[in-house]
Amino acid sequence: MSTSVASHPQLRQRLKPESRSSASDLREDAEVQLKRFIETNGHFSLVRNFHLADAFTLMNGFCGAQSIYMSGRYILTSNPLYMWAALWFPFFGAIFDLLDGKIARWRQSSSMLGQELDSLADLVSFGVAPTVAAFAMGMRNPLDTMILTVFVCSGIARLARFNITAAHIPHDAKGKAHYFEGLPIPSSLALIGFLSVCLLLGRFETSAGVWAATGPHLPFTGTWHNLLPGSGLPLGTLRVDMSNQLYALLATGGYLPRLLGAKLLAQCSEFFGAVVIHKISFLWLVWSMAMVSKTLRVPKP
C-alpha cells in the first residue's frame, strides 16, 4: 500500500531551518508508522502501535473520567470526600499530561495518534470534568449550565484549532512551541483551584441545598467558613424577573389564555421570564472566550 505522509499533516515534524537536513529521515519514519498502523491486523493491533508516552496520555483521560464519576457520587451522597476527589483527579491528570510530552522527547519517539489522544484526554480532564464539578457544587441553574456547555464547546474548538495549526507556530530546536494561541485548556486547573477554595470556605451546595457547618464533616471542608459570611457559591446570584411583562405580552389579544389556560400561561411566563444565574458563571464565560481567542498569545513555560 502506497501512502503519502503529505496527506497526514499531523505526522510532519516541526523543524527549524537548520534542522531540516534530517527531514527525509523523519518523513520516512512517519511513512513507516503510517503504513504499519494501516496494515497491522489482528487482536489489539491498535494497542501494539502505541508508544510509552501514549500510556501516560491515556492515564490523563482516566483521571478525567474518574473526576466525573466522583462528582456524580457527590451529587448522590452529598459527601464532600467525593467532591475533593473530583477536584484532585484533574491535577493528577495534569501530571500525566506533562509527563507524556517529556517521555516522548526523552525517547525521541511519538505515535501517529499521540496528538489526537492528547487533545481528547485534555478535553475530558480539563474541559468536561471541571464543568461537571462546578455543576455538582451549585452551578445548576439553566443559564449556569448553558455557560458551562459553552465552556466545553470552546475547549473542543480550541483543541481542534491547535491540532491543525500547531505545526505553524514557531518552535525551538527541541520542537517546543514558543507560545499558545488562546488560553490552553489545562488552564482550567485555576478554576478547579477556585472550586477547592469554595470547599474550604464551605460555600457550596449539596443535594439538600446550601452546605451548613453543622454535624460531622471532613477535615478542610468548611475550615475557612467564618472568614466569608453568607452561604452558597461566592458572589451570589443575579436574578432578572420579567415574568409579568412576558405574561402581558403572551396574553395580548386573549388568544393564548383561551387556548392554553391562564394558569398554564402564567407558569410558562414565570419559568421563562425569571432568569437566575450565579455571578461566578461569568468567570467561566470569560475563560471560554479566552480559550478561543486567536490574538491572545500565552508564552509556553
Q: Where are the domains of the chain?
A: 50-170+179-208+279-298, 237-278
Confidence of residue 301 (pLDDT cuts 50, 70, 90): low
* Mean pLDDT over the full length of the chain: 80
- In order of 12, 42, 59, 188, 271, the CA distances from 122 in angstroms are 22, 29, 11, 10, 36
Q: What is the pLDDT of residue 1?
A: 42
Q: Which pTM was predicted?
A: 0.78
Q: What is the pLDDT of residue 129?
A: 97
Query: Among the ranges 228-237, 259-268, 279-288, which has the highest mean pLDDT value?
Result: 279-288
List Cβ neighbours of 136 (8 Å cut-off, separation of 6 or more): 71, 72, 74, 75, 83, 86
Helices (H) and strands (E) in the chain, counts: 12, 6
Angle at 232 between CA 229 and CA 234, to 5 degrees: 65
Task: Collapse the DSSP code of 174 into the 3-class scheme (helix H, G, I; strand E, B; otherwise coil) and give the result.
Answer: coil
Q: Does pLDDT of 297 surpass 90? A: no
pLDDT tens, residue by residue, 166-192 = 666 666 666 666 677 889 999 999 999
pLDDT tens, residue by residue, 244-272 = 888 888 888 777 777 888 888 888 888 78
Confidence of residue 86 (pLDDT cuts 50, 70, 90): very high
Backbone angles phi, psi at 108, to 5 degrees: 55, 45
Q: Which fold has domain 50-170+179-208+279-298?
A: Four Helix Bundle (Hemerythrin (Met), subunit A) (1.20.120)
Please tell me what DSSP assigns to residue 171: B
Average pLDDT over residues 135-159: 95
